[in-house]
Structure 1
Amino acid sequence: MKNYFNYLCIFLLVLSLNSCTDDDSQTTTTNFVVAFEQPSIQLSNETNSNTIDLVFSEPAPQEGMITIQTESSNATYNQDFATIPEAVNGNLEISFEAGDEAASFQLEQLSEIIEGEEKSITFSITAVSIPETVFSGNTNLVVNLFESAALGGNLAPEVGGPNQPNQVYIDLSSQQETVIQRDAWDLAFYSGNTNRVVLNYSTQMAVGKTDFYNISEVNESNVAQLIPQISIGNFNPANMEYIDHPSGDLGQTAMDVVSENNEENPVYILNLGNEVGNSTPQLGSVDVDGEAKGLIKIRVLQNNEAYILQYADVNETDYTEIEINKSQGFNYTFFNFEQASTVIIEPEKNKWDINFTVFTNEIMGAGSYMFTDFVLTNRQAEVMAYQVLTSEVNYEEFNLTNIDESNFELDQRSIGSNWRQGGGPGQAPSLREDRFFIIKDTDGNYYKLRFTALVSEIGERGNPAFEYSLVE
């Protein structure tokens, strides 16, 4: 289950703080613990119904009832919000069955969030019908009906298992998660002041510049020497020139800046990479690469503020031409060759902070290489991060006085794969438990984040989880 590691953390806390031993019987009893899964939730106008989860330290020993008190600030029940089940005299009663590992209720948002209006609801666990139940961890949940940074929480991004088919964009302050299939796009056209084109870094794409400026003149025979070089993972340091720089620096894309003088814009050979893998690997391993998608030739021109994309099979003289406009408020406009159209991929520029993805990175001295379980920061929106070792300061004690602005890196790999060990022959992958990360998000909030899972309960890759907290 996704929340297994959250339950485990609570359970271990209970063992250390709430266990008692009877010397005569030599038995140990552990209290039943109930807590909210998150300490706070930020509502938005995009979602009107929200599931509020409560977690247990162990399967419920018997059926029972949780009583939750509601208190609101500038928010009115049945006008601004409602709950299922309905609150009576400000109290909710949530039932559960013996053996349940969690409980939940629905929060319905009835009024639109208006800028400047500060409305909030606080839910507090006040009673559980099982004797000797302990309220520990997140005993209160604050729900904001106005724009406010979330206090933190526990998240399990839907990467999708050992094929890692998804890219998962997460906005920490709003706790919004956007999931897309990572081969749903091929090229990203920058929406900023310069004209740059970025490759899909999750599907082994690469691109090589030819000496031609007419797309109809290019064929396999006159670029035969270039084609074998346009690949990923061949352990040749020189192949870095065929990928975008992994730091996310748009000044170092594999394709040149698109010139206003279209006569200066060359034809490229584009390796479309691979489809998402679909076979089942050995437990603890990954299989992210499916069938190769082949080669095409492309040329990108400029027309006022728009891009003009020309593309065709390598040996075709006829080509397709499409105009691609910049997307105001977004980092990029994305294009999919199979659909022959633009597609929506990333959230708006300032509405995501980190991205879980497969990624084309660099191994120094060996060139480009595909990394799984990778985490990117939103460099184009100036999201930055740095790593802190627990030998310097532990996670719980880290606060605003510990922030060191000089440590922040404007490199989208600041988290990268540094949070886990990749494993190898006879060695399973594992978390690095000696570190956590500090993130400065798109709104200037500081969050501390540590990873709590790399694999599922049964050891299946592509099932990460993390906890994070607003640094105060």
Structure 2
Amino acid sequence: MKKTILLKAIALLLIISSCSDDEGQDLIDFTVNFSSETVGTTEEDTTKEITLSFSRPASEAGTINVNYTGTNAEYGTDFTTTPDGASGTIAVSVAAGDKDASFTFNKLSNAIEGSTKSVTFSIDGFDQTDWSQGSTASTLVSYAPIASTGGVIDTDNGGATIPNQVYFDFSSETQTTVKRDIWEIGLYNGTENRVFLNSALAVSAVEITGETDLLAITEASNLPEPMELTGLNAMFQPEPVTVSTVSEVLEGLPVGYFQYGNLEEGISFTDYPEGNLDDTAFAEISTNPEENYVYIVSLGNEIPSEEELEAPIDPGSIDTSGDHRGFLKVRILSDGNNYTIQYAALGETESFTEVTVPKNTAYNLTAFSLTNGETVSVEPTKEQWDINLSGVFAYYGAQGPTIAGLTFSDFVMHNTLGGTGLYQVTLYEVDSETDEVTEFDVPSYADFTMADVDESAFVYDNRAVVGSGWRDAFGGVVKDDRYYVVKDADGNYYKFDFTAFTSTEGERGHYQFTYERL
């Protein structure tokens, strides 16, 4: 079974100790909280899911009673709920094993301009005597957009194969979940003409410099000029590689330890992790067609399915990289307002597919599926997300003294193209040789307030500040030496801190973080 590893791994990825059976052990108290103190709605919203989070999975079935109070809002006229709450109480059912519960707020009208309209929902008791309410015992649903004050978020990345990317917006507390294999390239919608690769799928690309005839290139083609590259030998030592044909390039194009590159010469077949416009594997797309060359694109690796796995994935382990998805040859043109994508199978010499995609400035990128020949919905609009829990992230770069194709799990990025800034607050540092601990003069996460924000520390030109450094994959724990501060495009400030990267059963690919508006 293939494992995602953090470079030069001497062993395959960790196995975290499996969770013990609860029988015969003391359980932590079962407390219930609303996942957020505030929920905003837009004029277009007709429903909102209101979530109640539990301190642990329910060991028995039961019911949570929720009451409500409206401000200029009446039940049946301005709103209803599912389950029905016409009696004044909403009975929210909980099944044994549930990690949370929810009910639906149905909005029947909008607020009149200049007026205030809202509904406050409060926990009003339980039918299980040992259940109790937590600190967030109520939530206010506003009929106008308001910035969320915070909450605890369990992401929908999907488990040990990490099938999903999750985009999260702090101010609206909104998760957008997409399969990470539905696109290969992203077309930039700004003033420059740029193409990004889907790093969550390990997509890579190489330019056939000087070649503009898509159909002239096949696996048997000679390169216009040989490429002087670097690869790793079987002992993981770098050695020079000269490639003269397309077939030789293909050997070192897919992301992996033996991927070719030459960072000293600025040659990388992947985008750089920082995510800046001038750090892409594709050169800037020119409005002069003769300057846009053919690329060979490696389509990355399949997401393993349950049927394809050789055995069940052990608790604490992951399996994110299935079979290679093959190669296509691609040429991209632009007139400044539209992109034209030409592509074909590598062996095709008679015809190619051509698709024109207009720029849409509401989004950072327009995602395109080369395998299905169409644009797909991936990112939310550029000001409606702050962090991307991509789960998997692959690029050509350095880990320690070795440079190779790397694939990371549990990876998190922030929306630098959309104006989100972020920085890390480091509480302490441990010397790797002496184990000496150096503590820094910074507040704890709980004590950090708006007065502690350092405007000069926000990073807007490196989306990978969080990366995978927030957890210790081999130790199976979330690191307690750091937390993060974020400033969104609307000027809202938040602090957030990761609290889990496995489920209660020890399955990877289940991330949790807490956040609070400053």
Structure 1 length as normaliser, TM-score?
Answer: 0.84
Partner of 2:282: 255
Gaps of 5+ in 2: 1-25, 224-244, 429-441
Aligned: 1:403 with 2:453:
yes
Partner of 2:250: 227
Q: Deviations over 1:357-378 (max 9, x none)?
A: 1112433441331111111111
* Of 370, 374, 383, the match for 2:420: 383
8 Å contact 2:70–2:118 — kept in the other structure? yes
Aligned: 1:429 with 2:463:
no
The alignment covers a number of residue pairs equal to 439
Q: Deviations over 1:129-148 (max 9, x none)?
A: 66687543102211122111
Q: Deviations over 1:164-201 (max 9, x none)?
A: 11111111111111111101001111111110111111
**CA distance in structure 2 between the partners assigned to 1:441 and 1:135 by the alignment:** 31
Could you say if the C-alpha distance between residues 113 and 325 of structure 1 is closer, same or farther in structure 2, counting changes exceeding 3 Å?
A: farther
* Of 291, 296, 301, the match for 2:328: 296
Aligned: 1:416 with 2:467:
yes
- Letter of the structure 2 residue corresponding to residue 300 of structure 1: I
Task: Please identify which structure carries the higher helix content.
Answer: 1
- Letter of the structure 1 residue corresponding to residue 192 of structure 2: T
Partner of 1:372: 409
Q: Deviations over 1:115-157 (max 9, x none)?
A: 7654222223355566687543102211122111011111111
Aligned: 1:447 with 2:447:
no
Deviation at 1:352, TM superposition (A): 1.1
Deviation at 1:299, TM superposition (A): 1.0
Which range is displaced more, 413-422 or 118-127? 118-127
Q: Deviations over 1:48-81 (max 9, x none)?
A: 3334343555788998775544233333332222
**CA distance in structure 1 between the partners assigned to 2:297 and 2:59 by the alignment:** 59
8 Å contact 2:40–2:145 — kept in the other structure? yes
Partner of 2:506: 459
Aligned: 1:316 with 2:340:
no
Structure with more relative contact order (C-alpha pairs < 8 Å, separation 6 or more): 2
- Letter of the structure 2 residue corresponding to residue 217 of structure 1: A
Structure 2 length as normaliser, TM-score?
Answer: 0.77
Cα RMSD for the two superposed structures? 2.9
Could you say if the C-alpha distance between residues 261 and 113 of structure 1 is closer, same or farther in structure 2, counting changes exceeding 3 Å?
A: farther
8 Å contact 1:85–1:92 — kept in the other structure? no
Q: Deviations over 1:372-408 (max 9, x none)?
A: 1111111110112111134521111111001001111
Partner of 2:147: 149
Partner of 1:285: 317
8 Å contact 1:115–1:146 — kept in the other structure? no
- Letter of the structure 2 residue corresponding to residue 144 of structure 1: S
Which range is displaced more, 251-260 or 313-322? 313-322
* Of 70, 80, 83, the match for 2:81: 83
**CA distance in structure 1 between the partners assigned to 2:59 and 2:342 by the alignment:** 65
Partner of 2:444: 394
8 Å contact 2:47–2:106 — kept in the other structure? yes
Partner of 1:363: 398
Aligned 1:39-438 pairs, distance under 5 A: 39-45=37-43, 47-55=45-53, 68-87=66-85, 91-94=88-91, 104-112=102-110, 118-128=116-126, 135-211=133-209, 212-220=211-219, 221-223=221-223, 224=245, 225-234=248-257, 238=262, 241-278=268-305, 279=309, 280-303=312-335, 305-317=337-349, 318-357=351-390, 358-361=392-395, 362-364=397-399, 365-390=402-427, 392-410=442-460, 411-423=462-474, 428-438=475-485
Identity %: 34
Gaps of 5+ in 1: 1-27
